[in-house]
């Protein structure tokens, strides 16, 4: 079963993930309208691209924009959660061992103790995010049951991986559950709100062009990260 999960099923999961990303990206771009979206595509294009890149860059930095600074706690949780997700997935030694074994390549890795801390940080941030959704009325009213499910799907690979690595209870069970939950996460990303992991770059770039060109950005002496 392990060979099937890390072989054919893993290939299927990655294919769904990458093809889904490609289709969603194409649909996003095709859905843009210069009138409805108020983004200039043919006028001041070079400036628009510059502001799109600026917007993406600064929104990837903690507290680099006014939007991040107005909600410091949420900003901290956001970056802890996403950095932990990315780093503990890509640079985990065990994952790179599978890459080397199955596909003949690997990337740099981080020490296991660092992976542990990152995983704990991800789980703690997720717990706070869940409590926040339940405690704050303005967030609770916008939260659907599917939002909790998506969050649980997001953290399941990290919880099960942590339990498997430290061999809590039944190791084979936690390892199989970890692999299945990780592949489930890959499959659902293109079809749910988790697609923001790549659509963020499109929407943020679009906003950068919009604000940079049409809403006074070209007239400002000091450039802003919209």
Residue 38 placed within a domain: no
Rounded distance between C-alpha atoms, residue 181 and residue 10, angstroms: 11
Domain membership of residue 166 (yes or no) is yes
Residue range 147-201, pLDDT digits in tens:
999 999 999 999 999 999 888 888 899 999 999 999 999 999 999 999 998 999 9
Specify the pLDDT at position 73: 86
With a cut of 60, say whether residue 222 has pLDDT above it: no
* 145-165 and 72-90 helices, crossing angle to 10°: 50
Q: What is the pLDDT of residue 221?
A: 47
On whether residue 26 sits in a domain, the answer given is no
pTM (global) more than 0.85? no
Q: Is residue 43 part of a domain?
A: no
- Whether 144 is covered by a domain: the verdict is yes
Asked if the structure places residue 175 within a domain, the reply is yes
pLDDT at 215: 60
With bands split at pLDDT 50, 70 and 90, how would you rate the model's confidence at 220? low
Q: How many domains does the chain have?
A: 1
Q: What is the pLDDT of residues 4-39, one digit of tens each?
A: 887 788 889 999 999 999 999 998 888 776 566 556
Terminal Cα-to-Cα distance of the chain (whole angstroms): 49
Q: Is residue 213 part of a domain?
A: yes
Cα 201 to the center of its chain, rounded Å: 11
What pLDDT does residue 109 have?
A: 85
Tens digits of residue pLDDT in 94-140: 888 877 777 777 788 888 899 999 999 999 999 998 998 898 888 88
Domain span at residue 73 reads 58-219
How far apart are the C-alpha atoms of 11 and 20, rounded to whole Å?
14
Q: Rounded distance, CA 11 to CA 81, Å?
A: 26
């Amino acid at each position: 079963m392990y060979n099937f999960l890390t072989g054919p099923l893993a290939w299927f999961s990655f294919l769904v993930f990458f093809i889904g990303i490609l289709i969603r990206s194409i649909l996003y771009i095709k859905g843009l309208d210069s009138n409805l979206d108020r983004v200039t595509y043919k006028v001041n294009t070079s400036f628009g691209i510059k502001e799109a890149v600026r917007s993406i860059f600064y929104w990837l930095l903690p507290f680099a924009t006014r939007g991040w600074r107005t909600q410091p706690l949420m900003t901290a949780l956001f970056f802890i959660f996403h950095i932990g997700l990315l780093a503990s997935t890509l640079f985990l030694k065990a994952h790179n061992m599978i890459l080397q074994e199955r596909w003949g390549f690997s990337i740099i890795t981080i020490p296991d103790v660092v992976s542990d801390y990152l995983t704990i940080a991800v789980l703690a941030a997720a717990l706070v995010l869940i409590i926040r959704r339940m405690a704050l009325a303005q967030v609770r009213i916008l939260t659907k049951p599917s939002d909790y499910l998506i969050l649980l799907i997001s953290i399941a690979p990290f919880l099960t991986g942590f339990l498997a690595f430290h061999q809590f209870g039944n190791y084979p069970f936690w390892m199989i559950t970890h692999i299945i939950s990780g592949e489930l996460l890959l499959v659902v990303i293109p079809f749910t709100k988790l697609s923001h992991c790549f659509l963020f770059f499109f929407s943020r770039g679009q906003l950068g062009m919009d604000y940079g060109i049409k809403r006074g950005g070209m007239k400002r002496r000091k450039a802003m990260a919209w």
